[in-house]
Amino acid sequence: MDPRPKAVVLLSGGVDSATAAALTARDGVALYALTFAYGQRHAAEIEAARRVARALGVAGHEVLTIDLRAFGGSALTADIDVPKDRTPAAMGADIPVTYVPARNTIFLAFALAWAEVLDAGDLVIGVNVLDSSGYPDCRPEFIEAFERLAALATSAGVTGRRRVRVRTPLISLTKAEIIRAGMAAGVDYSLTLSCYDPAPDGAACGRCDACALRRKGFVEAGVPDPTRYRAG
């Protein structure tokens, strides 16, 4: 029996979730990684999650397919063009079209289910202030509301055996600070993928909001960017 406490970590294959996972592992926690295939146009993201999970030495990794496309309404799941070459001001001005309705609510709900079966005390999610500017379900008040819900939602909550906590180790960090913290924890960012619109071979576009934030983060962190960008 592994004596370590357990955490279910939402792992997308991007910079943030890989870093949140690595920082949690460093605390001596056994990681159970949970990745969603949710009608993304790029399976490359799933492959990145598998690489990252392997590098982290997770105790378990589940990839769940859920079909958010049935509901429509987002560039990440439907056939809307991913916006390119936007300024930071334009990115922050409103809720991005790449927003997936209730995404983190759905993801955390599944994580909660797995945590209950595993008897894991923590859920880990890589939300942070940068994301919070546009995505409602990345804000601290959302996370706190989910913790309150979790306490009432599960048999563990009812019996008082344990309350599930949602760890957000990146919540107050900038992208540059996340990258520096991840480097210190040994994250190999060449395994990660942030791009909303990667090439078939997995190369990042370099121009979508996610690529722009990632590039800026590496520059500001003063760390070489190991990302493979598409030529041209």
What's the closest the beta carbon of residue 39 comes to its own copies, in angstroms? 11
Long-range contacts of 152-155 (CB under 8 A, 24+ apart): 153/112, 154/112, 154/116, 155/116
In the complex, what is the shortest distance from the CB of residue 135 to its own copies, in angstroms, rounded to a whole number? 9
Tell me whether residue 64 or residue 184 sits nearer to its own copies (CB atom): 64
Question: What is the nearest approach in angstroms of its own copies to the Cβ of residue 44?
Answer: 22
Answer whether 7's CB lies under 8 Å from 30's CB. yes
Could you tell me the two tokens for 48?
Answer: 């990145």
| Residue 210 to residues 22, 63, 188, 204, 225, Cα–Cα distance (Å) | 20, 22, 18, 10, 14
Residue appearing with tokens 């890989």: 18
Distance in Å, CB of 49 to its own copies, minimum: 15
The four Cα atoms 109, 137, 69, 94 give a dihedral, to 10 degrees, of 180
CB of 214 to its own copies, least distance (A): 24
Distance in angstroms (rounded) separating the CA atoms of residues 79 and 62: 27
Give the CA distances from residue 76 to residues 67, 80, 127, in Å, rounded to whole numbers and listed in that order.
Answer: 12, 8, 18
Residue 8 β-bridge partners: 32, 123
Q: Which residues bind its own copies (CB under 8 A)?
A: 62, 64-68, 70-73, 95, 99-106, 108-110, 112-114, 116-117, 136-137, 139, 141-142, 145-146, 148-150, 152-155, 157-159
Could you tell me the smallest distance in angstroms from the CB atom of residue 7 to its own copies?
Answer: 15
State whether residue 84 is helix, strand or coil. Answer: strand
